[in-house]
Amino acid sequence: CHVSERRKAGILPSLEDLLFYTIAEGQEKIPAHKFTTALKATGLRTGDPRLKECMEMLKVTLKTTSDGALDRHLFKKCVQSNIVLLTQAFRKKFVIPDFQPFCAHMDELYDNAKNLSGGQVADYIPQLARFSPDLWAVALCTVDGQRHTVGDTKVPFCLQSCVKPLKYAIAVHDHGTEYVHRFIGKEPSGLRFNKLFLNEDDKPHNPMVNAGAIVCTSLIKVSTVMNFMNKLAGNEYVGFSNATFQSERESGDRNFAIGYYLKEKKCFPEGTDMTAILDFYFQLCSIEVTCESASVMAATLANGGFCPITGERVLSPEAVRNTLSLMHSCGMYDFSGQFAFHVGLPAKSGVAGGILLVVPNVMGVMCWSPPLDKLGNSVRGIQFCTDLVSLFNFHNYDNLRHFAKKLDPRREGGDQRVKSVINLLFAAYTGDVSALRRFALSSMDMEQRDYDSRTALHVAAAEGHAEVVRFLLEACKVNPVPRDRWGNTPMDEAVHFGHHDVVTILRDYHTQYSPQETAANKENAEQNLDGLL
C-alpha cells in the first residue's frame, strides 16, 4: 500500500525529501521549532530575506496543523520556494560549514576582550561623550549570509571614519579607478589622519585620511548615497544623527582648514562647491548603523560587492578590490602598518569606536566599543582582531596548507556520516558521476542507505541516470539488488519509470555475475576503480 501511494503521488527522493530526512532524523514529522532550530544552527536567520517565501508559508501552514508539526507533504510545501538555499545550508555547503563551534569561539574572543578597561571615549562632541565605556559588541555575517552577534549589537552609533572606505567604493563604482585616482593617491601618509598635508603631486595621500575623504566626497552624489548604504546593509538598520552632524560642523575647524587648503591647491573637480562638500562630509560621518547592520556592509565587501543576504550586486568587483587594498594599508590611522603586519586583514576604524573588518571571501565583521587607544582605535576591537587571527588562519599570509597550528573554520568537520549519505544520494539524483567518482575515491561507502533504506543505485535507476548506474555497478561493485523500505530494488524503479537503458544495464549485470561472484568481486573493487576513475 505504501508503494502504490508513494508512486501515485509521484514522490521521488526529491531535494525536499532529502532535506526532510536530514532534519526529521527518522521521525514521521518535523515539529516547527525543530526546523527553525536546525535552520539557525546553520547560521541562517528566519528573518533572512532569501527565506521569505518559506517562512510565510510555514506560518500559514502551521495554522492548519493541530500539533505544530510538519509531515513530509507539508514540509515540502513550506520549503520548496527556497529549496536551493536550504539544501546548501543543510548539506554544509556554506563557507563556515560547522557554524555553531565557530560561534562558540567568537564568543570566547568577545569575552576575552570584554575585560579590558583601558582607553578613552571620544569627548570632542557630546553625542560621542555620552556613550558608556562598557559598551561592547561584535557581529559577523559570512559571504553566505550566516549570522552571529554578541553583546550590544543593536545600539545605533555613527560610522564616522568607517564610512570612508564605503564612499571611496561608491566613487570607484561610479567613475572607475583611473578617474578617482586623478584626485587622490594610494599611499599611506605616515601622518595623523587629520593633518593638513598633501603628497608631492599636491593630492591627498589616500581616501582613508580626512583630506582624501573630503575630496572623495566631492566625487559621489548626495542623491544616491543612502540608497547605496541601505543596499550594502541588506536593508538592515541605517540611520542618520542630525545632532552629530550639527556638532561635527560646529567643531570641524580642522576639516574646514583642510577644505580651504584643498580648494587652494585645486584638488576638487572643477565647479565643486567646497563648503557644500564639507557639509556632505560631516553628514556622511553622521550616518548611523548598528553592529549587526554594519556587519552586513562588511560582508558585502568580503563578497566582491554582492550583498550576501539579498544577493544584490551593490558595488563593482573593481571598487571592492581597491577598497580592501587601501583599508589594508591605510585603514587604522597610525597603527595601519602594525595592523597589516599582525592582523593582515583589511579594516577601517572610526572615532565612535567601530572597526569594520573584512575577511575576504569569508565574512564581514563589525566590532564596536567606544574606548579608544592613543592612536584612535577601539581598544577592545583591536584585541578582538588580534585574537581572531591568532586562533584562525585568517591572516592574509597564513599558509592554508601547511600552517596546522591554527584553526581553519572553512574546513569541514563534524557529522560526516549524515552528510555523506545526503551528498551521495544527491549526486545520484542529479546524475553527477564526477562527484560520485570523488566520493568513491575518498573511500566513501557507496552502499549507504537513507531512512527509507534507499541507496544511490535506487535513486540513479529511478532517475534514469545510466552512466551513474554503470559506475556504481562496475566500478564500485555495489549490491545490485538492495531492497528499500517498500521492498523495491533498483530494477523495479527502472522498470516502473520506463528507463529501458537502465533496465538493460541491470539485466546484463545480473546475467554476467551471480550474487556470490559479486561479493567476491567487491574485493577487487579498488583495482577496478583505478581503471575507471
308 touches ligand GLU by CB under 6 A: no
471: which residues sit within 8 A by CB, 6+ positions away? 433, 436, 437, 532
Q: Which of 42, 161, 218, 323 is in the footprint of ligand GLU by CB under 6 A?
A: 161
Q: Which of 127, 206, 217, 255 is in the footprint of ligand GLU by CB under 6 A?
A: 255
Q: How far is CA 102 from CA 90, 218, 282, 388, in A?
A: 16, 42, 38, 11
193 touches ligand GLU by CB under 6 A: yes
Closest distance between ligand GLU and the C-beta of residue 109, in Å?
A: 24
Closest distance between ligand GLU and the C-beta of residue 359, in Å?
A: 22
518: which residues sit within 8 A by CB, 6+ positions away? 477, 479, 480
Identify any residues that bridge with 69 across adjacent strands, giving them in sequence order.
31
Give which of 108, 86, 96 is closest to 359, Cα–Cα. Answer: 96
160 touches ligand GLU by CB under 6 A: yes
CB 43 within 8 A of CB 144: yes
Closest distance between ligand GLU and the C-beta of residue 164, in Å?
A: 8
- 229 to 248, contacts with ligand GLU by CB under 6 A? 248
288 touches ligand GLU by CB under 6 A: no
Closest distance between ligand GLU and the C-beta of residue 160, in Å?
A: 3
Please, which residue, 352 or 389, has the CB nearer to ligand GLU? Answer: 352
Question: H-helix or E-strand containing 356?
Answer: strand 354-359
- 365 to 424, contacts with ligand GLU by CB under 6 A? none
Please, which residue, 378 or 393, has the CB nearer to ligand GLU? Answer: 378
Please, which residue, 188 or 350, has the CB nearer to ligand GLU? Answer: 350
Give which of 56, 122, 123 is closest to 349, Cα–Cα. Answer: 122
Closest distance between ligand GLU and the C-beta of residue 219, in Å?
A: 17
Closest distance between ligand GLU and the C-beta of residue 364, in Å?
A: 19
Q: Which of 36, 65, 80, 194 is in the footprint of ligand GLU by CB under 6 A?
A: 194
335 touches ligand GLU by CB under 6 A: no
Give which of 22, 20, 16, 32 is closest to 64, Cα–Cα. Answer: 32
Q: Which of 351, 358, 379, 444 is in the footprint of ligand GLU by CB under 6 A?
A: 351
Q: Which of 86, 198, 238, 285 is in the footprint of ligand GLU by CB under 6 A?
A: 285
Give which of 301, 318, 276 is closest to 180, Cα–Cα. Answer: 318
Please, which residue, 194 or 316, has the CB nearer to ligand GLU? Answer: 194
63: which residues sit within 8 A by CB, 6+ positions away? none
CB 200 within 8 A of CB 348: no
Interatomic CA distance for residues 42 and 368, integer angstroms: 25
CB atoms within 10 A of CB 196: 14
Give which of 102, 90, 21 is closest to 391, Cα–Cα. Answer: 102
287 touches ligand GLU by CB under 6 A: no
- 203 to 232, contacts with ligand GLU by CB under 6 A? 210
Interatomic CA distance for residues 489 and 507, integer angstroms: 12
Please, which residue, 102 or 282, has the CB nearer to ligand GLU? Answer: 282
Alpha helix stretches (DSSP H) within 133-251: 163-175, 177-180, 210-217, 222-232, 242-250
Please, which residue, 255 or 310, has the CB nearer to ligand GLU? Answer: 255
Closest distance between ligand GLU and the C-beta of residue 161, in Å?
A: 3
Q: Which amino acid is at 166?
A: L
Closest distance between ligand GLU and the C-beta of residue 162, in Å?
A: 7
Number of residues that bind ligand GLU (CB under 6 A): 10
Please, which residue, 14 or 194, has the CB nearer to ligand GLU? Answer: 194
Closest distance between ligand GLU and the C-beta of residue 220, in Å?
A: 16
For residue 383, which phi and psi values (nearest 5 degrees)? -60, -45
Residues that bind ligand GLU (CB under 6 A): 160-161, 193-194, 210, 248, 255, 285, 350-351
